[in-house]
Amino acid sequence: DKHFLFVSGDPNLIVGGMEDDWPQNRGIFINKDETFLVWINEEDQLRIISMRKGGDVKAVFSLLMKGLNTIEAYLKKQGKEFKKSDKLGYITSCPSNLGTGMRASVHMDLPNLKKKLGSDGLKSHCKEMKLQARGTRGESGGDTGVTYDISNRHRLGYTEVELVQTMIDGVNKLYEEDQAAAKEEK
């Protein structure tokens, strides 16, 4: 239920050959507070996740930066570094994560907007706002009721700060629109 573990059976991962050795050579490192995770060899070779309950995005971003800096310092001591292209950004096996690779997201309930727009309409509305709405079980997980994972849609051509700000502004707007839709119902 915590969504820490990899999910086998994703058709996109299977077609790309990323499940050929499932589950060997994969791992998850989790801090004791369960707020910082490092996934090894799932969709990307390395996925670094910072999270917490509530709305303190600044604290989540600060923890992420602290973790990234710690990992980069360790790699540097080993004479290694993350692969990065001046043109494309960080190199990963997932093309949608080219660029910064930053996907900032919030889980939020949008019952009134979903009722007003429908699931496809809500997702289309988010797309217009440079956001992506998906179920809480990931890209291939589909809708899971009225709770959506709302994130920045783009990765390439923007800074990490711009991407986080896009997500914050969008989430605030969606919240206001969901509240307005509730009032329209009455």
More confident residue, 131 or 144: 131
Span 2-9, average pLDDT = 67
Q: What percent of the chain has pLDDT over 90?
A: 48
Q: Which backbone phi and psi does 84 adopt, to 5 degrees?
A: -140, 135
Structure tokens at 42: 């799932």
Residue with more model confidence, 111 or 96: 111
Tens digit of pLDDT for each residue in 42-81? 777 788 889 888 888 899 999 999 999 999 999 999 999 8
Rg (CA), the chain: 18
Taking Cα atoms as reference points, which of 116, 135, 87, 83 lies closest to residue 182? 116
Instruction: Compute the distance between CA of residue 57 and CA of residue 55 in angstroms, rounded to an integer.
Output: 6
Whole-number pLDDT of residue 82 = 83
Query: Three-class SS of residue 171?
Result: helix
Model's pTM, two decimal places? 0.79
